[in-house]
Amino acid sequence: MSLAPFLLFATAVLAANTPPAPALPLNDIVSRLLTRNAERSAALQHYTSVRTYDVRYDGIVHKQADMKVLATYDHGAKTFQILSENGSKLLLDRVLHRLLTSEQEADKTRAQTALTSDNYSFSLVGSEQKDNHACYVLQVLAKRRNKYLYNGKIWVDANDFAVVYVEAHPAVNPSFWISGTDIQHQYQKIADFWLPASNRSETKIRIGGKALLTINYSDYKLNN
């Protein structure tokens, strides 16, 4: 017997039992989002997590690499310990290792890259269910050209006023050889905090082909 009808029914019931996001003006949503983000950031002093990176390039040739990393966050600073790595040395050196370096560089200028009104303009698209959360959907546009900023949409949980999901592309194309990058970033709630769950980035290469990067975050350990 196929389980599809039962799964569809269960999904519909679950969605129906999730109350919709209450109507709020844009200024209230953004104000609460920024306030709650600042409160959570101040409260979260230390955590560790395990990240699994996988990058694949399909074009003139096929290359693949993966890496497992222990990430430590301590009072606003991140450090990384590579636990294992396999595959193309070119992708490891030019993509995955550089990602870790870029993340540490972005942390040093967090005020210039954070999701704030200084860095982004916001507009309200509407509200909808996302991953069984009632969410406000906001359009965000970077106020300046910066490789660590993005343009796209964010889904904001209507209860916690935390970002649940992001669909975006970089505000600045990082290279002439790249024609575009689409990013999907999902968050998960750990205790009282919303932390990364997964990231999927698909990049189109001008000379042909595409690169797909996925990052999965697991084994969070919080110590406040």
| Domain annotation covers residue 1 | no
Q: Rounded to whole angstroms, what are the CA distances from 142 to 27, 83, 99, 115, 188?
A: 17, 35, 21, 9, 24
Model pTM greater than 0.75? yes
> Residue 29 sits in which domain range?
25-222
Q: Rounded to whole angstroms, what are the CA distances from 141 to 34, 35, 46, 53, 93?
A: 16, 19, 30, 28, 31
| Domain annotation covers residue 110 | yes
| Domain annotation covers residue 174 | yes
**pLDDT for 37 beyond 50:** yes
Q: Rounded to whole angstroms, what are the CA distances from 10 to 3, 14, 83, 157, 222?
A: 11, 6, 40, 22, 33
What are 159-175's pLDDT values in tens digits? 999 999 999 998 887 66
Rounded distance between C-alpha atoms, residue 134 and residue 164, angstroms: 10
| Domain annotation covers residue 9 | no
Q: How much is the average pLDDT of 187-216?
A: 90
**Structure letter (DSSP) for residue 146:** -
Mean pLDDT for the chain? 87
| Domain annotation covers residue 164 | yes
What are 78-105's pLDDT values in tens digits? 999 999 999 999 999 999 999 999 898 8
| Domain annotation covers residue 100 | yes
Q: Specify which residues 205 forms β-bridges with.
A: 178
When divided into structural domains, the chain yields a total of 1
CB 172 within 8 A of CB 146: yes
Sequence-distant (≥ 6) Cβ neighbours of residue 221 within 8 angstroms: 47, 48, 49
Conformational region of residue 143, where left means phi above 0, alpha means psi within -120 to 50, and beta covers everything else: alpha
Confidence band of 203 (pLDDT split at 50, 70, 90): confident
Confidence band of 18 (pLDDT split at 50, 70, 90): low
| Domain annotation covers residue 6 | no
CATH label of the domain that carries residue 38: 2.50.20
| Domain annotation covers residue 216 | yes
Sequence-distant (≥ 6) Cβ neighbours of residue 64 within 8 angstroms: 54, 55, 56, 57, 87, 88, 91
